[in-house]
Chain A
């Protein structure tokens, strides 16, 4: 199903329109005259050393084997370049390999020269047969500048069109591919269900985290233990060449990095995997989803004015949404997770996700998952298990519950003394919003727990919530009395203990508060607020112990009350002095 969906995506977006050619950065143009004599090496590199992109005949899949490109390839094939990496002993073997590469590159050139009468092709063949000419090209640049992975194309005389784009050469290239295809075994493809030429090896995927840089295969049978009943390679899973090419093109398209993103249409999940998604709707719907789920800085600025508005425009219930989480395992690509669902549901879930996370008086706005998680990560960047990010995305896209680890880590983080003050307010908001969202989703399965609101709820009488508010009032009293630059505030010292064991901490804090109130300018008003809050507590005011969920509610209450102090109160609340710090 997944491969079929990917293949359909590739067809719909026109990614497989030109299976014989691909666009690659070509670094140099080797200019020769019609006799095959070398004229000059034209660089196409920009200042960063990247070649200008050009359409070239698709290069073959290569690992350790020798497989040459068609009229375009790297200097190892074109010029017999062989970097001396100081490996002793293997010199003879290397020379042998170099000769084999040159020969492999020459074979199709000769074949084309024999079957067409294009002078340019004969010139290339003549050039390739001439050792000195090749050496002359290599001498154009200092030896250490050649890496062996540059791409070289040919041009003859003063023609601007490279040799591989001549119509005679293109025809030959098509013919060679048809012949190769006709040699393949046919069978019923398990992706399309149609009779077709089956693929033996599949195109590789690039840019999968933790996979080999040269690319890794999704469908592969590279060890005996992976094969069944004596079937070899592609016969284990009959997939047509077209379908194999289609799904690989689709994934490569989605995984490819762009200027602003590491993956065109993927969200990095933890260190080692990426969630790639696609739909059968439009490209604009996809980029919109991406800008909500994994916003770049620019996206954040752009959506700030109309948060979540854009999502309303893509209520497409009949369209499908597909997502696959990929990770690398050396030469193979691992599917970690895969799901397919209705696009309308996904849009609704994302909106619910951000509404659930929303807290305080700011507007609802997208927050990247990685930023949420970095707010609750233990200092030093450790402590969250790798699947938390995956499950957070599950909460966002599929409306699942938030992982409990979010609550645990956020509370742990709150107990530590606050970090840099300029970041602290934002970090606190993220932590408490995660706690709130966790508690909200918990409610679905557990009707006895309480509604958690977006901002301060003065009618809420749940004990942990009220205690949280009380703690914020006491903290406020302290800072009003003693100023803001204390070595250790009661929050630094007592937050953890107060939320876990209110009974052991609050009586002492209340005592302190009496002194603070006496010193503070607006002590009277704050004492009144304290009285209001305490009136909401039951007879037995301080429980000995709070459960983890209750500690979460405590944090939410603390945050709400704290934010209420920060925002200007409406004048109807009357006579109290302004409390802005």
Chain B
């Protein structure tokens, strides 16, 4: 049985810089042209997420024209290790380039469903709908919402109705785009999942998760 879906929320997210890193070029980062569905999910989960709900992205409208910027930063080679304190960043430098987007503005259309098994008897869609709307209105979040990378903070607000996408081209292919990770269940390894992306009149239509996973095939 399909769990009941909420109504569709429209959330506007933008900021001065964004980098939705392509997985094939992530050591020296190059961004996708348009926000990825997983980045959009990240923005929404920053505002409201509980184990009992799951977000579904339906559309991402691109309000500002695609503009690029590039910079180089001193980063490090290692990941943070819990409990390791004797770390000197200067001895572990990696200079990395980033080709990022500048001045982005998106409207994310999304809904949420309940996760069977995780939702308790007191949980229902209506409750989370109202929580989300309240939190979005007040500007509350669990962690600062961001555009692809934590350091590129997003300005998030309910989207007004009269926004128009920047592009009018009927259908522009963006190539295969990162959809999200398939975290699998239990033991299976995490794997990245991709979908064929098109910008239709400035709107990225995101296919439902089941459809993308079906295309990807089962776990190897």
Q: How far is the CA of A547 from the CA of B99 in the complex (A)?
A: 34
B220 within 8 A of A: yes
Contact with B along A320-352 (1 / 0, CB 8 A): 000000010100111111100000000000000
Smallest CB-CB separation from B99: which chain A residue?
A335
Contact with A along B46-80 (1 / 0, CB 8 A): 00000000000000000000001010000111110
Residues of A within 8 A of B27 (CB): 220-223, 226, 332
Q: How far is the CA of A327 from the CA of B30 in the complex (A)?
A: 13
Q: Are B220 and A186 in contact (CB under 8 A)?
A: yes
Out of A3, A188, A333, name the residue touching B194 (CB < 8 Å).
A188
Instruction: Give the one of A1, A185, A187, A235 with max B CB within 10 A.
Output: A1
Residues of B within 8 A of A329 (CB): 28, 95-97
Residues of A within 8 A of B190 (CB): 229-231
Q: Are B23 and A335 in contact (CB under 8 A)?
A: no
B217 within 8 A of A: yes
Min distance, Cβ B184 to any Cβ of chain A, angstroms: 11
Q: How far is the CA of A187 from the CA of B189 in the complex (A)?
A: 13
Q: A4-B175, A219-B24, A225-B75 are in contact. List 7 more A-B contacts (CB 8 A).
A: A4-B176, A188-B216, A191-B24, A224-B78, A225-B79, A236-B192, A329-B95
A190 within 8 A of B: yes
10 nearest CB pairs, A to B: A237-B23, A237-B24, A223-B77, A1-B175, A229-B190, A334-B97, A334-B28, A226-B27, A224-B79, A219-B24
Smallest CB-CB separation from A244: which chain B residue?
B24
Min distance, Cβ A217 to any Cβ of chain B, angstroms: 8
Min distance, Cβ A368 to any Cβ of chain B, angstroms: 24
Q: How far is the CA of A185 from the CA of B189 in the complex (A)?
A: 13
Contact with B along A206-224 (1 / 0, CB 8 A): 0000000000001111111
Q: How far is the CA of A229 from the CA of B220 in the complex (A)?
A: 17
Q: Are A185 and B30 in contact (CB under 8 A)?
A: no
Smallest CB-CB separation from B28: which chain A residue?
A334
Instruction: Give the one of B25, B99, B191 with max A CB within 10 A.
Output: B25
Interface residues on B, range: 20 to 34
Min distance, Cβ A228 to any Cβ of chain B, angstroms: 8
B119 within 8 A of A: no
**Given A3-B24, A185-B220, A224 and B77 contact (CB-CB distance below 8 Å):** yes
Residues of B within 8 A of A221 (CB): 26-27
Residues of A within 8 A of B174 (CB): 1
Smallest CB-CB separation from A192: which chain B residue?
B176
Q: Are A193 and B176 in contact (CB under 8 A)?
A: yes
Count contacts between A and B, CB distance < 8 Å. Answer: 90
A–B complex contacts, Cβ < 8 Å, 18 sampled: A3-B24, A185-B220, A190-B24, A193-B194, A195-B217, A219-B25, A223-B77, A223-B94, A225-B76, A225-B77, A226-B26, A228-B23, A229-B190, A236-B192, A238-B192, A329-B28, A333-B28, A335-B99
Q: How far is the CA of A190 from the CA of B32 in the complex (A)?
A: 13
Out of A188, A222, A223, A337, name the residue touching B78 (CB < 8 Å).
A223
Min distance, Cβ B171 to any Cβ of chain A, angstroms: 15
Binding site for B on A (CB under 8 A): 1, 3-4, 185-188, 190-191, 193, 195, 218-226, 228-231, 235-239, 327, 329, 332-338
Min distance, Cβ A568 to any Cβ of chain B, angstroms: 50
Min distance, Cβ B39 to any Cβ of chain A, angstroms: 14
Q: Are B26 and A218 in contact (CB under 8 A)?
A: no
Q: How far is the CA of A440 from the CA of B24 in the complex (A)?
A: 40
Smallest CB-CB separation from A234: which chain B residue?
B24
Smallest CB-CB separation from A387: which chain B residue?
B70
**Given A190-B176, A224-B79, A238-B192, A337 and B220 contact (CB-CB distance below 8 Å):** no
Residues of B within 8 A of A195 (CB): 217
Binding site for A on B (CB under 8 A): 22-28, 30, 68, 70, 75-79, 94-97, 99, 174-176, 181, 189-192, 194, 196, 216-217, 220
Min distance, Cβ B92 to any Cβ of chain A, angstroms: 9
Q: How far is the CA of A563 from the CA of B17 in the complex (A)?
A: 48
Q: Are B70 and A337 in contact (CB under 8 A)?
A: yes
Q: How far is the CA of A239 from the CA of B76 in the complex (A)?
A: 26
Q: How far is the CA of A225 from the CA of B68 in the complex (A)?
A: 24
Min distance, Cβ B209 to any Cβ of chain A, angstroms: 16
Q: How far is the CA of A185 from the CA of B220 in the complex (A)?
A: 9
Q: Are A190 and B23 in contact (CB under 8 A)?
A: yes
Q: Are A336 and B99 in contact (CB under 8 A)?
A: yes
Residues of A within 8 A of B96 (CB): 329
Min distance, Cβ A270 to any Cβ of chain B, angstroms: 13
Min distance, Cβ B186 to any Cβ of chain A, angstroms: 14
Min distance, Cβ A393 to any Cβ of chain B, angstroms: 14
Q: Are A229 and B94 in contact (CB under 8 A)?
A: no
Residues of A within 8 A of B99 (CB): 335-338
Out of A226, A230, A239, A337, name the residue touching B68 (CB < 8 Å).
A337
Smallest CB-CB separation from A187: which chain B residue?
B220
Residues of A within 8 A of B191 (CB): 187, 231, 235, 238
Out of A191, A220, A222, name the residue touching B176 (CB < 8 Å).
A191
Residues of A within 8 A of B24 (CB): 3, 190-191, 219, 237, 239
Q: How far is the CA of A219 from the CA of B24 in the complex (A)?
A: 6
Min distance, Cβ B23 to any Cβ of chain A, angstroms: 4
Min distance, Cβ B68 to any Cβ of chain A, angstroms: 7
Q: How far is the CA of A224 from the CA of B26 in the complex (A)?
A: 12
Q: How far is the CA of A337 from the CA of B25 in the complex (A)?
A: 13
Min distance, Cβ B55 to any Cβ of chain A, angstroms: 19
Q: Are A188 and B217 in contact (CB under 8 A)?
A: yes
Smallest CB-CB separation from B25: which chain A residue?
A335
Q: How far is the CA of A389 from the CA of B30 in the complex (A)?
A: 21
Smallest CB-CB separation from B194: which chain A residue?
A190
Residues of B within 8 A of A239 (CB): 24
Smallest CB-CB separation from B76: which chain A residue?
A225
Out of B22, B94, B217, B220, name the residue touching A225 (CB < 8 Å).
B94
Smallest CB-CB separation from A5: which chain B residue?
B175
Instruction: Give the one of A4, A222, A223, A224 with max B CB within 10 A.
Output: A223
Residues of B within 8 A of A334 (CB): 28, 97
Min distance, Cβ A280 to any Cβ of chain B, angstroms: 14
Q: Are B78 and A236 in contact (CB under 8 A)?
A: no
Min distance, Cβ B19 to any Cβ of chain A, angstroms: 13
Q: Are A336 and B175 in contact (CB under 8 A)?
A: no
Q: How far is the CA of A235 from the CA of B24 in the complex (A)?
A: 10
Min distance, Cβ A489 to any Cβ of chain B, angstroms: 44
Instruction: Give the one of A187, A190, A238 with max B CB within 10 A.
Output: A190
Q: Are B192 and A237 in contact (CB under 8 A)?
A: yes
Residues of A within 8 A of B95 (CB): 329
Residues of A within 8 A of B192 (CB): 190, 231, 236-238
Min distance, Cβ B195 to any Cβ of chain A, angstroms: 10
Q: How far is the CA of A237 from the CA of B77 in the complex (A)?
A: 19
Smallest CB-CB separation from A390: which chain B residue?
B70
Smallest CB-CB separation from B216: which chain A residue?
A188
Min distance, Cβ A543 to any Cβ of chain B, angstroms: 37
Min distance, Cβ A550 to any Cβ of chain B, angstroms: 30
Q: How far is the CA of A186 from the CA of B174 in the complex (A)?
A: 24
Q: How far is the CA of A224 from the CA of B77 in the complex (A)?
A: 6
Q: How far is the CA of A333 from the CA of B25 in the complex (A)?
A: 10
Q: Are A332 and B78 in contact (CB under 8 A)?
A: no
Q: Are A237 and B26 in contact (CB under 8 A)?
A: yes
